[in-house]
Structure 1
Amino acid sequence: MFYNQIGNVALGSRLRRLSEILTEDAKQIYTLYGIKLKPKWFPVFYVLSHNEGKSITEIAKFIEHSHPSVSKIVREMLAEGIVLENTDKNDGRKNIIQLTKKGQQIALQTENQYLDVNLAVDEALAQTQNNLWKAMDEFEYLLDRKSLFKRVLDQKKIREMKDVEIVPYDSKYRSDFKKLNEDWINNHFMMEEADHKALDHPKEYILDRGGYIFVALYKDIPVGVCALIKMDHPDYDFELGKMAVSDKAQGKGIGWLLGKAVIDKAKSLKAKNVYLESNTKLIPAIALYEKFGFKKVRGQPTPYERCNIHMELRF
């Protein structure tokens, strides 16, 4: 079978094919019972046949369809004289959709159809090893918690992370360390004097003072950097700083890998904590730090004007 050969990647296409099969059967079933309804009208028609009337917004919410989709169906049903539209007596801004006499007559005709269809579906499900209805409930629940798009995005990140290597700083990465940081800073803020000191002289400003720099290579190309800076402060051992990831490498988990490398290094040095300075407008960065366990603290004096939040990770 074609879909079995393709596998799970064809899930949407296979469900669409199943929907087309059932829709064609539904057309024949309506004809069998002499009912002039289109299968796609069923959810709207069913709601209206069991209620005195509802607005398009209420119908859409109830059947979990989009407002434009329900609006289009209602217009088609209006044209066929199955529903009518009246202004709500209690709220002139809202229109109420109700069944016409023709629609009510159709509703009476559907009673035996619903009974027979329910029994037929029950019979088919009883003959299956896996109950499709229960499986759909479970799958929809899982997708509500985490969409298929998000799941694919996560798998993409996991796959691409395998091509990322975190290596110690080497003088050959000096220009990359500077450019990646300059690009990131200029994209969000402005370069400051303290930036120039660290980026122009990483050996003297960071390494010679007992700090470390890590470089992220994606397929051997430098795409991210981060530093563990030794602090001359009685309350803090190291600072996580100068983290920058190329725009072209976003979404590959590089920030996480760099942060983990820095934190692991601090732990190996028996550090008691790691401090950092950031800006609250950098929402993804703050979220990343919080995943590592950083907590907001009262800040120390800083040479950076852009800094408006201070965080600490205690071991």
Structure 2
Amino acid sequence: MYIASLGKLALGSRLKALSDQFYGAADEVYQARGARIESRWLPVLRYLWDVGPRSVTEVAEAIGQTHSAVSQLTDKLVRAGMVKRGRDAKDGRRSVLALTDKANHALGELGPIWCAVRQGVTASLGEHATQLLEAIAACERALQERPVAEAILAEHAALLATPLEIVPYAPQWREHFYRLNAAWLERYFHIEDIDRAVLSDPEHYILEPGGAIFFARLGNEIIGTCALLQESPGVFELTKMGVDETFRGLGAGKRLLEAAIAEFHRRGGVTLFLESNSALKPALGMYEKAGFRFQPAIRPGSHYERADVYMIYEKPAS
């Protein structure tokens, strides 16, 4: 499932989808058994059933929903004849919600269904049901101690204050070499056999023949990569450059390109070339600004089906 691949980024979406499944299952059961409530009514109705008349604020605090959400749900329950608004018998200035006779009668018939719900959830989810409830309780406690928006904003501020680093290849980042390149290849073209081989084993295809791989790192995030592949003594190919497009404006591509060119000079390289595609205009513009010059034809013996651009780096005059 795609949404699962987004991990913590889509936590809210996955929880909502899971919540909708449970709501839908409960409504299906209520309808099949002729119960006169809806699943989304349960927290308010059951709370008022257990503790008696309470204010909207008290209900909201007890069931963990906003005052606005409970107020809107109350309007629906009033229209459905399940809840009535009234005055607190002990404090006439205080407005409270109370169950109607209709609600009391409807809830009074739900014991067998609620028993079946508990047992059915256990039968369906097994030990995961208990684990899920424990995990939810732990999350609720953690969120009370530190709201997630507060934590995210703090992390964002820290990330923006972190300098972008260009670092050499390390084995623990191998997956990012594949991930970052696969993203742009699949978006604009497709992963060719030569791509798959190199991306799956960069040590063998790039490092062992005398090449180098660089990563752009922002804090703990790897957001870009590129490689310098030695084709023959003194001849290098700039290849496999990929930058996460959600990190635009940080200059990662430019910094990676500068690092690769500097390494080319450090190794006393004679020729540095690249192959690309005319559809990648922003990248081609960056290469040109760095000193690469378009060649009149594609490179003889090119390994790439997508390559219709051949550029060679011209060393600046010393």
TM-score (norm 1): 0.48
